[in-house]
Amino acid sequence: MAQYDFKKITVVPTGNDLIDIVLSRTQRQTPTVIHKGNAISRVRQFYMRKVKFTETNFTDKLSKTIEDFPRVEDIHPFYGDLLHVLYNKDHYKLALGQLNTARNLIKRIREDYVKLLKYGDSLYRCKSLKRAALGRMCTVTKRIGPSLAYLEHVRQHMARLPSINTGAPTILICGCPNVGKSSFLNKITRADVEVQPYAFTTKSLFVGHTDYKYLRYQVIDTPGLLDRPLEDRNIIEMCSVTALVNLHAAILFFLDLSGSCGYSISQQAALFHSIKMMFRNNPVLIVCNKTDLQTLEGLSGEDLKLVMEMKSAALDVLLTMSTITDEGVMAVKNAACQRLLDQRSERKMKSKKMPTVLNRFHVAMPKPRDQKERPVCIPQAVLEARAEEAAHEERKTEKDIENENGGAGVYSASLRKHYILADDDWKLDILPEFLDGHNVYDFIDPDILQRVEELEREESAVEEDGGDFEIEDEDFTAEAEKDLQEIRKRKKLLIQKHRIKKSTAESRPTVPRKFDKDRKFTTERMGRQLSSLGIDPSRAIERARSRSVSRKGRKRERSVGGDGEDEMEIDGGLDNKKKLRLRSRSIEGFKDSAQKMKAVTMARNATKKRNKDARRGEADRVIPTLRPKHLFSGKRSIGKTDRR
């Protein structure tokens, strides 16, 4: 028997909402652009697609709703009756029928208009056809608006119905209003139903669950029943009647002995007898509640007789309890559960399937052959070993040693003790890891010494050879060495001179040799240079002198005569000119170089004193203003001013 879940029904949109949904879907999910210029087949296709799409959506949504809602005939009669009681079966069916009709209508509209669209001859006509089709579908939907609204209502209510498993063992609680049915439910289950002093506090069915002998029982609390004919019952009472009639359950009829519910025992008895026929095969238990107010024994004779009558009708099952004092509550529950269990087992046993199942079971119990005793068998060796172990002394473990020596942080176990070595003395050796920048472990080899010896032999052999070498005589004699040094020195000097010449080239004038003011190019010089090269210069000097200008000048003097005065005159006259010409540029302003030298010395002497006094001279740098304003004040247009 399935458990119905009415919570999973999809929301039923209202008429207008449905129209909006479907049309907006069409708008979004179909292409939207079409032009007059497109081929007519394309135009037709475009509009047909829209019509079909709309129809499909409507149909889908309506079909979904129709299928989601349960068909009253197909479900368990309890739910069928409940639905009828709550929502009026006819109205319900009508609403669903209307939805179905609408669906069919929409389908027909689509077929018609698609046929028409096939022959649409212009964009405008196709468009109008599509508009008409969609419009008609929407009108149909608008007409079923009220049905949709009703179904939505029903859906919301159905979702809140208690989920009653029609196949599970159930206990049904019924009786007059206010007798204590809901309080009993609260006591035995975890349900938290409202309990109030006024009648009809419970307006619908409530379900709780309880356990008994590893089985789960449903306990259903019903609204109170009044003694009325069936036709006059209101919806609330009809709920409980439905439950009574359709559910297979153990029925607990509650009696209020004290009459504080507002109904006397006779009224309650009358009710009982009127609904007796609804019980059918269900096990019935009469439960007398509120014994704290009025016990069974304390009843008046008449009441007692009525109660006894009821008891006899219920197969002699009468229980008393009080929900306030918890007296007998559990007993009632157990009794009810037990009775139900018994009935169900009986039924199962009687069912047609039972023999087939029973045939498959067979529990075999071996018959004892004889009265011999056969105990457990343990081999002797094992027994001995066990005995030995028990007698064996406890040896000292590493942990004990650790604890002796100060515990975990203080003592660390020496793992070297258990090393397996050729000689036990070696256990505590300190092993070096590095030596001279090498890893010792990389060199370990049992025959390392051998190989080292080989190496050493190799080395010595190589040494004896001395190797192949070429002896070259010192090809340089002392003289040659000296010459080489000279050459190198000379080269360096040349380079230096050239460098000076290069660096001063810009400031030095290039003067032809005839204006040689420093008198560099003399024959003495030439003579010296030539002799340093190892050549006799005398001939060269002669030749040079013979061709010089001054020589020629002297010749003229001699031819004139040896007169001293004449000589002097000529000399003087010529000398002056010569002297003018011959005067070097470096002796500018002075008579001769001697005079210049004197002048230079005088200048030097003059400055000596001043320098000794360490006074500022003309050549010394002067800062006229030590703190010029423009450097020491003012803000900068860009940048920081943290340095001045």
Among positions 441, 539, 551, 599, the unique one binding another protein when judged by CB under 8 A: 441
Write the CB contacts of 641 (distance below 8 Å, at least 6 apart in sequence). Answer: 635
Beta bridge partners of 285: 252
| Residue 385 CB, nearest approach to another protein (Å) | 35
Q: Is 613 in the site for another protein (CB under 8 A)?
A: no
375 lines the binding site for another protein (CB under 8 A): no
Q: Output 211 or 486, the one with its CB closest to another protein.
A: 486
Residue whose CB is less far from another protein, 442 or 618: 442
The candidate with the shortest Cα–Cα distance to 179, out of 203, 160, 200, 152, is 200
Report if residue 452 touches another protein, rule: CB under 8 A.
yes
Nearer to another protein, 393 or 479 (CB): 479
* Stretch binding another protein (CB under 8 A), from 38-46, 243-251, 300-308, 448-456: 448-456
Interacting residue with another protein among 5, 316, 424, 468 (CB under 8 A)? 468
HSE-up (13 A, CA, CB side) for residue 80 = 10
Q: CA quadruple 494, 499, 502, 506: dihedral positive or negative?
A: negative
Instruction: Give residues 481-500 in contact with another protein (rule: CB under 8 A).
Output: 483-484, 486-487, 490-491
458 part of the interface to another protein, by CB under 8 A: yes
284 forms bridges with which residues in the sheet? Answer: 251
Determine the Cα–Cα distance for residues 113 and 130; give it in Å rounded to an integer. 7
**Residues 62/102, Cβ–Cβ less than 8 Å:** yes
User: Would you say 133 and 107 are in contact if contact means Cβ atoms under 8 Å apart?
Assistant: no
Region from 250-258, 525-533, 550-558, 635-643 binding another protein, contact rule CB under 8 A: 525-533
Q: How far apart are CA 298 and CA 318, in angstroms?
A: 16
Buried b (16+ CB within 10 A) or exposed e, 118-149: eebeebebbbebbeebbebbbebbeebeebbe
Instruction: Tell me the closest approach of the beta carbon of residue 430 to another protein, in angstroms.
Output: 10
Among 411, 426, 515, 521, the residue binding another protein under the rule CB under 8 A is 426
- Residue from 443, 492, 548, 604 touching another protein (CB under 8 A): that is 443
Residue 217, SS3 per DSSP: strand
Stretch of 31-39, 187-195, 464-472, 599-607 contacting another protein, by CB under 8 A: 464-472
# chain residues binding another protein, by CB under 8 A = 56
Q: Report the distance separating Cα 182 and Cα 219, nearest Å.
A: 10
Q: Which is nearer to another protein, 283 or 537 (CB)?
A: 537
- Rounded to a whole number of angstroms, the minimum distance from the CB of residue 434 to another protein is 6
Tell me how far, at minimum, the Cβ of 547 lies from another protein, in Å: 22
Q: Candidates 196-204, 245-253, 420-428, 602-610 — which segment interacts with another protein by CB under 8 A?
A: 420-428
Query: Which H or E run includes 171?
Result: strand 170-175
The nearest distance, CB 448 to another protein, in angstroms, is: 5
Contact status: 424 vs another protein (CB under 8 A): no
Contact between 53 and 44 (Cβ < 8 Å)? no
**Contact by Cβ (8 Å): 432, 440:** yes
H or E element in which residue 209 lies = strand 206-212
d(CA 176, CA 223): 8
Which stretch in 375-383, 476-484, 598-606, 626-634 sits in contact with another protein by CB under 8 A?
Answer: 476-484
Binding of residue 429 to another protein (CB under 8 A):
yes
Q: How far is the CB of 634 from another protein (least distance, A)?
A: 45
Taking residues 527 to 556 in sequence order and writing x for each that binds another protein by CB under 8 A, - otherwise, the string is ---x-xxxx---------------------
Q: How many residues does the chain have?
A: 644
b/e code 353-367 from CB counts within 10 Å (16+ = b) = eeeeeeeeeeeeeee
Q: Hey, what are 580's tokens?
A: 């003018």
Q: Is 119 or 441 the residue whose CB approaches another protein more closely?
A: 441
- Which of 431, 478, 602, 626 lies at the binding interface for another protein (CB under 8 A)? 431
Rounded least distance, CB 493 to another protein, Å: 10
- On the 0-12 / 13-18 / 19+ scale of CB atoms within 10 A, 292 is middle
Minimum gap (Å) between residue 618 Cβ and another protein: 47
User: Could you tell me which stretch among 107-115, 198-206, 318-326, 418-426 binds another protein (CB under 8 A)?
Assistant: 418-426
In one letter, which amino acid is 149? A
Q: Say how far apart CA 22 and CA 28 lie, in whole Å.
A: 10
Which residues are at the interface with another protein (CB under 8 A)?
Answer: 419-423, 425-426, 429, 431-446, 448-449, 451-452, 455-456, 458-459, 465-466, 468-473, 475-477, 479-480, 483-484, 486-487, 490-491, 530, 532-535
